[in-house]
Amino acid sequence: MIHDPYPIIDSHIRFYQDNGFIKLKQVLDPDTISHYGEEITRKVRELNTLDVPMEERNTYQKAFMQVTNLWRTSDVVSQFVHGKRLAGIAASLMGTESVRMYHDQALYKEPSGGFTPWHADQFYWPLASDKTVTAWIPLQATPLDMGPLAFSAKSHRFTYGRDLPISDESEQMIQKALKMEGFMMYEEPFELGEVSFHSGWTFHRAGPNTTEHPRKVMTIIYMDGNMRLKEPENDNQRLDQETWCPGARVGEVIDTPLNPILYP
Ligand SMILES: O=C(O)CCC(=O)C(=O)O
């Protein structure tokens, strides 16, 4: 199923382009989630380096355990991120002929894990256009008390706060600005098999996990197959360039072994 086309229709594309995100149901079936989810969780346990007790962590550390580019460490995860179903959805939503890997990351919000502050991802990325989309793939049904991803609809065109890294400051300042401007917040549970897609400049956050179970999530960050590297504008972008596309050159298409074409 990871390669079967998903029935994307025009209204999905319009919704995504108007709102900067979309949630789609029945993208993955329970067997597929359980098969790949088991391996993703095994790799998260093996590779996680965050072992500070919850009460001593800062806001970012409380939000989730973060393990990146799992596809480079596991053939099974590599198979998953090379799936054409999710990558095909990404291409349709962005309106690009092809999509490449930017990177993947598992984001596990532990029981009693804190909220994820408001932010926009593209602040971190040295990418020349906004043709980027993150597939946020929960590995279980995710009710409101587990911290499902929430979006500020239409905020991908709002430029205030784009320069704020994930922090207590971004939570407060972006929250206030979005409220003042009248943006609608969309926060709903995820059914098993439901996946969201959000654009690089869409503001998003997640509530805390107050359940006794970890909120297990895999993400795949896709970019236009013709994405070019831009001159990094901050230290985060310089670090991202070295980490996610080493060897790519400013002004050129990002075509390194870490950034394979995933679709078509
Ligand atoms: O999973 C979370 O809590 C945050 C996810 C996120 O910010 C992202 O995938 O861009």
Domains of the chain: 10-243 (2.60.120.620)
108 lines ligand 1 (CB under 6 A): no
Residue 104 forms beta bridges with which residues? Answer: 220
Residue 77 contacts by C-beta under 8 Å, 6 or more apart in sequence? 36, 39, 40, 43, 70, 71, 104
Grouping H, G, I as helix, E, B as strand and the rest as coil, residue 218 is: strand
Helices then strands (H, E): number in the chain? 7, 11
Q: For the segment 234-264, what is each residue's pLDDT rounded down to a tens digit?
A: 999 999 999 999 999 999 999 999 999 999 9
127 lines ligand 1 (CB under 6 A): no
pLDDT of the chain, 264 residues: tens digit per residue? 999 999 999 999 999 999 999 999 999 999 999 999 999 999 999 999 998 999 999 999 999 999 999 999 999 999 999 999 999 999 999 999 999 999 999 999 999 999 999 999 999 999 999 999 999 999 999 999 999 999 999 999 999 999 998 889 999 999 999 999 999 999 999 999 999 999 999 999 999 999 999 999 999 999 999 999 999 999 999 999 999 999 999 999 999 999 999 999
The answer to whether the predicted template modeling score (pTM) of the entire model surpasses 0.95 is: yes
Among 108, 139, 219, 240, say which to mutate for ligand 1: greatest number of ligand atoms within 8 Å of CB.
Answer: 219
d(CA 128, CA 260): 18
* Ligand 1 atom nearest to CA at 107: 1
Cβ(245)–Cβ(259) below 8 Å = yes
pLDDT digits (tens, 9 = 90+) for 71-108: 999 999 999 999 999 999 999 999 999 999 999 999 99
Q: Which two tokens stand for residue 50?
A: 């965050």
Q: Which two tokens stand for residue 196?
A: 């969201």
CA of 205 to the centre of ligand 1 (A): 7
| Cβ atoms 2, 79 nearer than 8 A | yes
Q: What is the whole-number distance in angstroms between the Cα of residue 76 and the centre of ligand 1?
A: 23
Number of Cβ within a 10 Å radius of residue 182: 7
- In contact, 227 and 129? CB cutoff 8 Å: yes
